[in-house]
């Protein structure tokens, strides 16, 4: 997990998790219970989340620590901003929704991919 300004980033299914022998579960299936637990905290009322899934590039250096790059990272950031516009707490992209098996309310499309409200 990383935090920068008003953005918190959590990664599920990263290479270190897999190397540590954690059970191989789809990352979206790991993220959704965590997100629902976050929103169960009554002190957290202003947070908006974006969730996406897919292949990422990971790197580590002493200066920056562990870093992830890729389309899911960018789209999750966009989805968190869109959550404010759509007046919902969390938005999940098509790839993460499909992987999680959830049947959700479609909000719109972004670059040809649907995105959905994740009720929390």
- Tens-level pLDDT at each residue, the chain (120 residues): 555 555 666 777 666 666 666 555 667 677 777 777 877 887 777 788 888 888 888 888 888 777 788 998 889 889 989 998 999 988 999 988 887 888 899 999 988 899 999 887
pTM of the model: 0.77
- The helix (run of H) or strand (run of E) holding residue 81 is helix 71-85
Rounded distance between C-alpha atoms, residue 51 and residue 23, angstroms: 21
Contact 99, 28 (CB under 8 A): yes
The residue with tokens 């919902």 is: 88
Contact 46, 37 (CB under 8 A): no
Q: What is the dihedral of CA 57, 93, 40, 65, to 10 degrees?
A: 10
Provide the pLDDT for residue 14: 67
Specify whether the CB–CB gap between 80 and 110 falls below 8 A. Answer: no
Helix, strand or coil for residue 102? coil
For residues 12 and 29, what is the distance between their CA atoms, to the nearest angstrom? 9
- Please report the pLDDT score of residue 21 as a whole number: 61
Tokens of 11: 């990664």
Position 60 scores a pLDDT of 80
Per the structure, the count of domains in the chain is 1
Can you give the residue range of the structural domain that contains 113? 2-117
- Distance from C-alpha of 80 to C-alpha of 77, rounded to nearest angstrom: 5
């Amino acid at each position: 997990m990383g935090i920068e300004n008003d953005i918190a980033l959590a990664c599920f299914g990263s290479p270190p998790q897999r190397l540590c022998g954690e059970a191989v579960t789809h990352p979206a299936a790991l993220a959704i219970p965590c997100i629902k637990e976050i929103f169960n905290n009554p002190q957290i009322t202003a947070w908006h989340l974006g969730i996406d899934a897919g292949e990422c590039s990971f790197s580590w250096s002493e200066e920056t620590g562990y870093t992830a790059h890729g389309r899911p990272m960018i789209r999750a950031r966009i989805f968190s901003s869109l959550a404010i516009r759509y007046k919902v707490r969390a938005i999940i992209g098509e790839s993460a929704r499909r992987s999680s098996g959830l049947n959700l309310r479609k909000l719109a499309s972004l670059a040809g991919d649907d995105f959905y409200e994740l009720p929390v």
